[in-house]
Amino acid sequence: MLDCHKKQYNVILVACNNGNTKVSIRSEAHHQATILLEFELNSLCSNFTKWISMQKSYLQAINRWLHKCIFPLKQMSSKKKPIEFDPKRHIAPPIFVTCQDWLALLDSLPGKEVADAIKDLVTVTTHFLPRQEKSHENSKLSFTFSRKAGQNAGLEGDIQRNESPVDWSLKHDSFQSGLVVFLDRLKTFAESSVRQYETLQKSIKEAHDNYEKALLRT
């Protein structure tokens, strides 16, 4: 994943540094493609956010279930106050450390930065759609998406608008900048994921070794 995002970023960076790039989005096909791109970016942002959220929910559910198996710990004092359970300090089975550190890992990933970059790119993309004139506020935009497994998404639409001109050169520059930022955030997210995963592996191994040693001493 990391190599893929690095290549994506490098390719778009080279393309954006090419000053000879010119774009003209005037045809109906280009108009519909812009609408489809906006739709796909919104879907990407939603799915990415849900992906992170579902991982957290899954780990939190396992962590809560595991903690139900723990008897309240008591301090060695007359008051016998419960103390907070620490899987590393109390040499708990490695699964406790795995859940705890994995949750901390997810919280440390720059997921919000990726989602914000996608939202910014959506905003720039919508600027490619000409604004409706004030006298035609009730004009309608309707389109339907049809998809087939293993094939590219298809777009069928009927767009009726009374539109004002768009400065394509300025919009194109803004879109390029937004795309570079998005791919950079995605690359950074992948790099952070790799580093954190390596840290998690070391933490799990250390917890496993400590637990095995504790069992041998008993």
pLDDT tens per residue, range 15-60 = 777 755 555 555 678 788 888 999 999 999 999 999 999 999 999 9
Sign (positive or negative) of CA dihedral 160, 123, 137, 43: positive
The answer to whether residue 20 is domain-embedded is no
The answer to whether residue 41 is domain-embedded is yes
pLDDT tens per residue, range 184-217 = 999 999 999 999 999 999 999 999 998 898 888 7
pLDDT at position 55:
94
The answer to whether residue 6 is domain-embedded is yes
The answer to whether residue 112 is domain-embedded is yes
Q: Crossing angle, helix 94-108 and helix 28-67, to 10 degrees?
A: 150
* Band of pLDDT at residue 89, cut at 50, 70 and 90: confident
The answer to whether residue 206 is domain-embedded is yes
The answer to whether residue 61 is domain-embedded is yes
The answer to whether residue 5 is domain-embedded is yes
pLDDT tens per residue, range 107-160 = 999 999 999 999 999 999 888 776 543 333 334 333 444 444 344 444 444 444
The answer to whether residue 104 is domain-embedded is yes
Backbone angles phi, psi at 178, to 5 degrees: -65, -35
pLDDT at position 52:
95
Neighbours of 189 (CB within 10 A): 22
Q: How many domains does the chain have?
A: 1
Structural domain boundaries, residue 54 = 1-13+28-70+87-130+165-218
Which are the contacts of 63, defined by CB distance < 8 A and separation ≥ 6?
A: 99, 100, 103
The pTM assigned to this predicted structure is: 0.73
Is residue 115 a contact partner of residue 49, using CB atoms and an 8 Å limit? Answer: yes
Of 102 and 26, the structure prediction assigns the larger pLDDT to 102
